[in-house]
Amino acid sequence: MTEQSNTGQGTTEDAAQDAGNPFDPSQWREIEGFRNGVDLTDLTYHRHVGDGRANGIVRIAFDRPEVRNAFRPHTVDELYRVLDHARRTPDVGTVLFTGNGPSPRDGGWAFCSGGDQRIRGRSGYQYSTEHDSDVAAATADKVDEARVKAEGGRLHILEVQRLIRTMPKVVICLVNGWAAGGGHSLHSVCDLTLASREHARFKQTDADVGSFDAGYGSAYLAKQVGQKFAREIFFLGEAYTAEEMFHMGAVNRVIDHAELENTAIEWARKINGKSPTAQRM
């Protein structure tokens, strides 16, 4: 399964006012049925405030910055739900996929650090009876035994990856910090990747935590960077900068951190101005 790297250890609309934060709340509005912090606990889901076809843009962001935006089963379920909503919304052409930050604990940034290792037991990743994002909430006595018995300990991340690959929308991954483990695989399956010059770090952690990529990440990474570089990334488990991944072929553009989301919006508007039928092919 997917995993969280040892990248250290939010929520974020208050933090978004910090200087240099690429997220500008004034450009986004909440989506009915997906109220952030109410209907969604582990993600935020916004639609661009602009009118017209060019602004048919949604923003999906992991919202657990205190744990480097690691995901748990509940996170993955929410992610599938919002991606499917974007897929079924006719006037949405482009999805921006990122992570909120910075961490209130140490100021660090992350797109996603993969599966939350604190709730990974012998049977896999555990559903919880509560969805508090507090680190202290991830304890064995909060495990939803009925859900585990019904579904086992697997993360439904393959279904998410399949949805990203097959949905008739362009998905742009904005790597604003760590993309590690399962987070690294998620960036690999997106259509495009923009990365923060200052904070983006890429690391595949399978060999570190005794796990493996059970989805499309390894295959798509090998297509992007070639077999030799892909094996290096998986076997050595080293961290790579945005520039290094750009030269390997896994990143489309390296952007100054503060301009990351503005650049993504520009790209999305250009994409939305083209033929959606041609792009689906």
For 259, the 3-state DSSP assignment is helix
CA distance 97 to 54: 18
Q: Can you give the pLDDT at residue 125? A: 55
Q: What is the pLDDT of residues 127-161, one digit of tens each?
A: 565 555 554 455 555 665 655 655 555 678 999 99
Domains of the chain: 25-280 (3.90.226.10)
Distant-in-sequence contacts of 231-239, Cβ < 8 A, 24+ apart: 233/202, 233/204, 234/204, 234/206, 234/207, 235/207, 237/203, 237/204, 237/205, 237/206, 237/207, 237/208, 238/203, 239/201, 239/202, 239/203
* Contact (CB, 8 A) for 22 and 260: yes
Find the DSSP H helices in the chain: 12-15, 73-88, 145-151, 157-166, 182-189, 206-209, 217-225, 227-236, 242-248, 260-272, 276-280
Q: Can you give the pLDDT at residue 37? A: 92
Task: Give the DSSP letter of residue 127.
Answer: P
b/e for 54-93, b at 16 or more Cβ within 10 A? bbbbbbbbbbbbbbbbbbbbbbbbbbbbbbebbeeeeebb
Residue 134: count of CB within 10 angstroms of its CB: 9
Q: Can you give the pLDDT at residue 211? A: 76
Tens-of-pLDDT digits for all 281 residues of the chain?
344 444 444 444 444 445 589 999 999 999 999 999 999 999 999 999 999 999 999 999 999 999 999 999 999 999 999 999 999 999 999 999 999 999 999 999 999 999 876 665 555 555 565 555 554 455 555 665 655 655 555 678 999 999 999 999 999 999 999 999 999 999 999 999 999 999 999 999 988 877 777 688 999 999 999 999 999 999 999 999 999 999 999 999 999 999 999 999 999 999 999 998 888 87
The vertex-233 CA angle with 102 and 237, nearest 5°, equals 65
Q: Can you give the pLDDT at residue 146? A: 59
- Terminal CA-CA length for the chain: 30
CA distance 188 to 171: 11
Mean pLDDT for all residues in the chain = 87
CA distance 70 to 119: 11
> For the chain, what percentages of helix, strand and coil (3-state, to nearest 5) are there?
40, 20, 40
Single-letter residue type at 53: R
